[in-house]
Amino acid sequence: MKKILFISSILGIISLILPTYFLTELKQYESPLFPIIATAVNGISIWAIILLVISGFSISLFSNIEGWKIGLSTMALFPIMSILEMIVDTSSHNLFPLEFIFYAVLAIPSILGAYIAKGLIAFVTTKS
């Protein structure tokens, strides 16, 4: 279970970072440790939301972990990275409580994807 949740966390990061490579019009943000994460979070796109749904869906298809755990795990590393940046540069992340709420909201697409997969599995198994 821990391995799957770790993979889910990595998929969450990939889901937000990947669109920054093909959406070239995004403004690049500065950050003490993780500028690509700052760009991905500040330039969130519909593509990132879609990838989060796909991440939650795919993890849920191959595991029996509850959907809310999968969703929260996709965003679990972002607060950790924010805390690390606050340690390095105390002037960064001055609105961090709101940022953590934003990360919780960003977990919703993955939770939705996970529960869609669970519903699909239940539908297919009851039909056969």
DSSP-assigned letters across all residues of 13-77: HHHHHHHHHH-TTSPPPP-SS-HHHHHHHHT--HHHHHHHHHHHHHHHHT----HHHHHHHHTTH
| Entry pTM | 0.91
So where are the chain's domains? 2-127
Tens of pLDDT, residues 62-96: 999 999 999 999 999 999 999 999 999 888 877 88
User: By percentage, how much of the chain surpasses pLDDT 70?
Assistant: 99
CA 3 – CA 14 distance, rounded (Å): 16
